[in-house]
Structure 1
Amino acid sequence: MTPTEPATTIPTEMPDGSTSPVQIWHGAGEDKPLVMIWPGFGMGGYYFRPLATELADRGFPVAVGELRGQGQSSARATRSTTWGYHDLASEDFPRQIRAAKEELELPEDHPMIFLAHSMGGQISCLFAARDDLQVLNLKGIFGVGAGSPYRPTFDPQMGRRLGIGALFLGRVGGHGLGYWPGKVLGKDFIGYGRQAGAHMREWLRFHKHNSLSDLTGQDMDYVAAMSRLELPVLFTRFTNDQDCPTASSEALAEFLPNADVRYEDLPGELGHNRWAREPGIVADRFVSFAGLL
Structure 2
Amino acid sequence: MNDRNFQVPVTLPGGASSPIDLWLPVPGSEATQPLVMVWPGFGMGARYYRPIAEELAARGYPVAIGELRGQGASTARASRDLAWGYHDLAAVDYPESIRVAKTHLGLPADHPTVLLAHSMGGQIGALFLSRPESQELNVRGMFGVGSGSPYLRSFPTPMRRRLRLGTIFLGRIGGALGFWPGKVFGWDPVGYGRQSGTHMREWCRLARENTFAGLTGADQDYPLALRLVTLPVQLCYFGNDLDCPRDSAVALAQHLPAAALEVEELAGDLGHNRWARQPQIVADRFGEFCQGLP
What range describes the TM-score normalised by the shorter chain of this pair? over 0.9
The CA distance in 2 between the partners of 1:58 and 1:83, in whole Å, is 35
Tell me the TM-score normalized by structure 1: 0.96
Residue equivalent to 1:19: 17
Structure 1 stretches lacking a partner, 5+ long: none
Q: How does 1:105-116 map to 2 (within 5 A)?
A: 105-116=106-117
- The one-letter amino acid of 1:209's match is E
By how many angstroms is 1:6 displaced?
7.0
By how many angstroms is 1:186 displaced?
2.6
- SS of the aligned residue for 1:146 comes to coil
Return closer, same or farther for 1:179/1:133 CA change in 2, 3 Å cut-off.
same
The CA distance in 2 between the partners of 1:120 and 1:170, in whole Å, is 21
- The one-letter amino acid of 2:193's match is G
User: Where has structure 1 moved over 6 Å in runs of 4 or more?
Assistant: 3-6
- The one-letter amino acid of 1:25's match is W
Q: Is 1:170–1:203's contact at 8 Å kept on the other side of the alignment?
A: no
Residue equivalent to 2:61: 60
Q: Is 1:35–1:113's contact at 8 Å kept on the other side of the alignment?
A: yes
The answer as to 2:283 corresponding to 1:289 is no
Residue equivalent to 1:271: 271
Deviation by residue 1:243-291 (Cα, 9 ceiling, x = unmatched): 1111111111111111111011111100000110000000000001000
Q: Count residues with an aligned counterpart.
A: 290
Residue equivalent to 2:90: 89
CA RMSD of aligned residues (A): 1.4
Deviation by residue 1:140-165 (Cα, 9 ceiling, x = unmatched): 10000001000000011111221232
Residue equivalent to 1:166: 167
- The one-letter amino acid of 2:212's match is L
Residue equivalent to 1:149: 150
The CA distance in 2 between the partners of 1:204 and 1:6, in whole Å, is 40
Tell me the TM-score normalized by structure 2: 0.96
The CA distance in 1 between the partners of 2:268 and 2:22, in whole Å, is 28
The CA distance in 1 between the partners of 2:4 and 2:149, in whole Å, is 31
Residue equivalent to 1:262: 262
By how many angstroms is 1:169 displaced?
2.0
Q: Is 1:253–1:261's contact at 8 Å kept on the other side of the alignment?
A: yes
The CA distance in 1 between the partners of 2:10 and 2:263, in whole Å, is 33
- SS of the aligned residue for 1:41 comes to coil
The CA distance in 1 between the partners of 2:172 and 2:234, in whole Å, is 33
Q: Is 2:40–2:117's contact at 8 Å kept on the other side of the alignment?
A: yes
- The one-letter amino acid of 1:46's match is R
- SS of the aligned residue for 1:16 comes to helix
Return closer, same or farther for 1:140/1:269 CA change in 2, 3 Å cut-off.
same
Q: Is 2:95–2:134's contact at 8 Å kept on the other side of the alignment?
A: no
Of the structure 1 ranges 47-56 and 4-13, higher mean CA displacement relative to structure 2 is found in 4-13
Structure 2 stretches lacking a partner, 5+ long: none
The CA distance in 2 between the partners of 1:109 and 1:199, in whole Å, is 30
Residue equivalent to 2:249: 249
- The one-letter amino acid of 1:291's match is Q
Deviation by residue 1:200-259 (Cα, 9 ceiling, x = unmatched): 110111000001001001111111111011110001011000111111111111111111
The CA distance in 2 between the partners of 1:192 and 1:4, in whole Å, is 30
Return closer, same or farther for 1:212/1:6 CA change in 2, 3 Å cut-off.
farther
- SS of the aligned residue for 2:135 comes to helix
Q: Percent identity?
A: 55
The CA distance in 2 between the partners of 1:211 and 1:189, in whole Å, is 25
Q: Is 2:22–2:64's contact at 8 Å kept on the other side of the alignment?
A: yes
Residue equivalent to 1:99: 100
The CA distance in 2 between the partners of 1:262 and 1:224, in whole Å, is 20
Q: Is 2:227–2:257's contact at 8 Å kept on the other side of the alignment?
A: yes
